[in-house]
């Protein structure tokens, strides 16, 4: 009887070790935080921290894998940022890839809209972001909370 139990447990462990990666090959992101709540022009830098998951682990370390951020005050499109560096030994398509990344919003610099009211009293914005992997797959989009831009 003891031998039979041991074989059943061993079989279960072997099956668990052979499980397939069930993560999507399309990258997924979620917002951790964005901040600070308020930035002073030419003094502070805003940032976005996000979690990511990619089933085939082909994120980062390439010009095709990037972070795209859009200032939702404007209809000018997305600004492309380099994806945070990933140690190549962590890229295993059998296991997928999960982690946390951050991007500093440096280009273009955060400034109030160029009208007298916003230039004097400040402005408020929020950002939309997504990432792409090396295969060109685009993730879901996330949106930050409002960030106040003080003159």
Note the pLDDT tens digit of each residue in 65-84. 999 999 999 888 999 999 98
Q: How many CB atoms lie within 10 A of CB 51?
A: 14
pLDDT tens digits along 34-67: 999 999 988 899 999 999 999 999 998 888 899 9
Q: Report how far residue 91's alpha carbon sits from residue 71's, in angstroms, rounded to the nearest whole number.
A: 31
Q: What's the pLDDT at 1?
A: 43
Domain contains 15: no
Q: What is the CATH number of the domain that holds 34?
A: 2.60.40.10
Is pLDDT larger for residue 6 or for residue 100?
100
What is the reported pTM?
0.82
Q: Strands across the sheet with 142-143, in order?
A: 79-82, 66-71, 127-132, 142-143
The range of the structural domain enclosing residue 95 comes to 22-150
Domain contains 33: yes
Domain contains 127: yes
Number of folded domains that form the chain: 1
């Amino acid at each position: 009887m003891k031998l039979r139990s041991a074989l059943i447990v061993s079989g279960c462990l072997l099956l668990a070790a052979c499980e397939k990666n069930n993560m999507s090959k399309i990258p997924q992101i979620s917002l951790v935080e964005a901040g600070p709540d308020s930035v002073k022009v030419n003094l502070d830098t805003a940032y976005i921290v996000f979690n990511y998951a990619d089933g085939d682990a082909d994120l980062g370390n390439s010009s095709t894998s990037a972070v795209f951020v859009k200032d939702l005050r404007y209809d000018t499109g997305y600004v492309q940022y380099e994806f945070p560096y990933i140690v190549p030994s962590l890229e295993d398509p059998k296991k997928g890839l999960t982690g946390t990344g951050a991007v500093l919003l440096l280009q273009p610099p955060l400034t109030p809209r160029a009208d007298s009211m916003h230039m004097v009293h400040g402005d408020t914005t929020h950002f939309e972001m997504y990432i792409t992997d090396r295969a060109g797959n685009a993730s879901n989009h996330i949106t930050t909370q409002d960030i106040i831009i003080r003159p």
